[in-house]
């Protein structure tokens, strides 16, 4: 097991499998669920530097880090180095264990505002942000960067990628996570794992995490084995399937893949996730937020189609309890759970982010 440890600066992780930043998903309840199922480290969804710096409800929510939510990374997006650095400092003060800089978001509005993936086409601007953030938090927390493999497939884009990558490490960044799709690609086609292998060979001992198309525990092991990356960041593959973390742990420890979670185990996790969501967001918001999780959880159920339809129909907490009582009744003799191996139904979110 030791050979699989992952260090991100001072953060020592006992397994190289982490939960990626997921906008609209990786809130405190999801991070708790992921951690409880074996994720070594989790990231909050990307937040705008301005949101951290502007007093209000959203700022209070972002800067509230729970005692049982460690180690947790705070990911930031912005365009202006000084504001970015002040936001990073605020996240450190709030208790985040790592500051992650987003150079990957492909949403059109974000690109139009010169943030996220746009910065992959502007190495000088991207590196000004890295320098500024590193200056603000170095010595207190590790700084990491999340990148796609470029803006597009052009040689100029690839040159810009490597310029940012090398200089970011030279500036002191502790690790870089690379999603093997281009910004232009969004979620079309595959994540290019051969690019991850090239990057890892290029950077030598420096720490690289890979991202893209990790839908099952075997994918995590395969990415580690075939690309040489130091760690993997599970994204769509853990929404509604936190068992991917315990399964990856088993495989990395040389154990056989455990059977898929039983319906009773699924029900217990969903109920806990729902409870944490109500606690964090209040009942009305939790209902809305949990609906999309329920739809993803349903894919593991032996009656996936019916359960999915039931989750789509839920509106109130009472509806939730009714779906859990009917479809996850632990006293019933259910067929075995289903193992998820692909992206499943996440078209709407995946298409925009």
Ligand X SMILES: Cc1cc2nc3c(=O)[nH]c(=O)nc-3n(C[C@H](O)[C@H](O)[C@H](O)COP(=O)(O)O)c2cc1C
φ and ψ at 13, to 5 degrees? -110, 135
**Residue of 98, 105, 220, 238 marked catalytic:** 105
221 binds ligand X (CB under 6 A): no
What is the C-alpha to C-alpha distance for residues 273 and 33, in angstroms, rounded to an integer?
6
241 binds ligand X (CB under 6 A): no
Among 19, 59, 102, 269, binds ligand X (CB under 6 A): 102
191 binds ligand X (CB under 6 A): yes
> CB-wise, 94 or 264, nearer to ligand X?
94
- Binding segment (CB under 6 A) for ligand X, from list 6-14, 79-87, 288-296, 345-353: 345-353
242 binds ligand X (CB under 6 A): no
> CB-wise, 249 or 324, nearer to ligand X?
249
51 binds ligand X (CB under 6 A): no
Q: Which two tokens stand for residue 57?
A: 């409800």
CA 20 distance to own-chain centroid:
2
What is the C-alpha to C-alpha distance for residues 289 and 283, in angstroms, rounded to an integer?
10
179 binds ligand X (CB under 6 A): yes
72 binds ligand X (CB under 6 A): no
Q: Which two tokens stand for residue 194?
A: 């051969």
Task: Please say if 105 is a catalytic residue.
Answer: yes
What is the C-alpha to C-alpha distance for residues 323 and 315, in angstroms, rounded to an integer?
11
What is the C-alpha to C-alpha distance for residues 142 and 158, in angstroms, rounded to an integer?
26
132 binds ligand X (CB under 6 A): no
332: alpha, beta or left? (left if phi > 0; alpha if psi -120 to 50): beta
# residues contacting ligand X (CB under 6 A): 24
- What's the distance, Cα to Cα, between the start and end of the chain in Å? 34
Among 53, 114, 138, 349, binds ligand X (CB under 6 A): 349
- Binding segment (CB under 6 A) for ligand X, from list 80-88, 121-129, 192-200, 232-240: 232-240
Number of other residues whose CB lies within 10 A of the CB of residue 55: 7
Among 10, 24, 189, 259, binds ligand X (CB under 6 A): 24
Q: Which residues, at least 6 apart from 263, have a Cβ–Cβ distance to it below 8 Å?
A: 301, 302, 327, 328, 330, 332, 334, 337
- Binding segment (CB under 6 A) for ligand X, from list 9-17, 21-29, 81-89, 130-138: 21-29
45 binds ligand X (CB under 6 A): yes
Residue with tokens 């996936």: 304
Interaction residues for ligand X, span 195-214 (CB under 6 A)? 211-214
Burial call 248-260: b when 16+ CB within 10 Å, e when fewer: bbebbeeeeeeeb
Residues found near ligand X in the complex (CB under 6 A): 20-25, 45-46, 75, 102, 104, 146, 179, 191, 211-214, 235-237, 349-350, 353
Question: Which residues are catalytically annotated?
Answer: 105
């Amino acid at each position: 097991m030791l050979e699989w440890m992952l260090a991100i600066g001072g953060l020592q992780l006992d397994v190289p499998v982490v939960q990626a930043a997921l906008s609209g998903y990786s809130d405190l309840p999801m991070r708790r669920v992921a951690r409880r199922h074996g994720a070594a480290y989790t990231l909050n969804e990307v937040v705008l530097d301005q949101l951290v710096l502007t007093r209000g409800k959203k700022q209070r929510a972002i800067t509230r880090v729970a005692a049982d939510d460690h180690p947790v990374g705070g990911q930031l997006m912005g365009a202006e180095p000084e504001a970015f650095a002040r936001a990073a400092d605020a996240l450190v003060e709030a208790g985040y264990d790592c500051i992650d800089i987003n150079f990957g978001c492909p949403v059109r509005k974000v690109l139009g505002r010169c943030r996220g993936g746009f910065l992959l086409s502007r190495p000088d601007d991207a590196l000004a942000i890295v320098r500024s953030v590193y200056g603000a938090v170095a010595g207190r927390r590790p700084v990491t960067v999340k990148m796609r493999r470029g803006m597009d497939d052009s040689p100029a884009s690839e040159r810009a990628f490597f310029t940012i990558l090398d200089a970011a490490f030279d500036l002191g960044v502790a690790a870089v996570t690379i999603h093997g799709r281009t910004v232009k690609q969004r979620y079309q086609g595959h994540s290019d794992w051969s690019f991850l292998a090239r990057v890892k060979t290029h950077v030598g001992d420096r720490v690289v995490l890979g991202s893209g198309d990790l839908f099952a525990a075997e994918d995590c092991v395969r990415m580690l084995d075939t690309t040489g990356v130091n760690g993997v960041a599970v994204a769509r593959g853990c929404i509604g399937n936190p068992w991917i973390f315990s399964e990856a742990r088993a495989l990395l420890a040389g154990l056989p893949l455990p059977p898929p979670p039983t319906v009773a185990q699924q029900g217990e996790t969903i109920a806990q996730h729902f409870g944490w969501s109500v606690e964090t967001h209040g009942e009305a918001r939790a209902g809305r937020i949990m609906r999309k999780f329920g739809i993803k959880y349903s894919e593991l159920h032996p009656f996936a189609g019916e359960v999915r339809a039931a989750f789509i129909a839920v509106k109130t907490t009472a509806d939730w309890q009714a779906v859990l009582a009917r479809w996850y009744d632990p006293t019933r003799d259910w067929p075995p759970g289903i193992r998820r191996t692909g992206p499943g139904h996440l078209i709407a979110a995946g298409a925009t982010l």
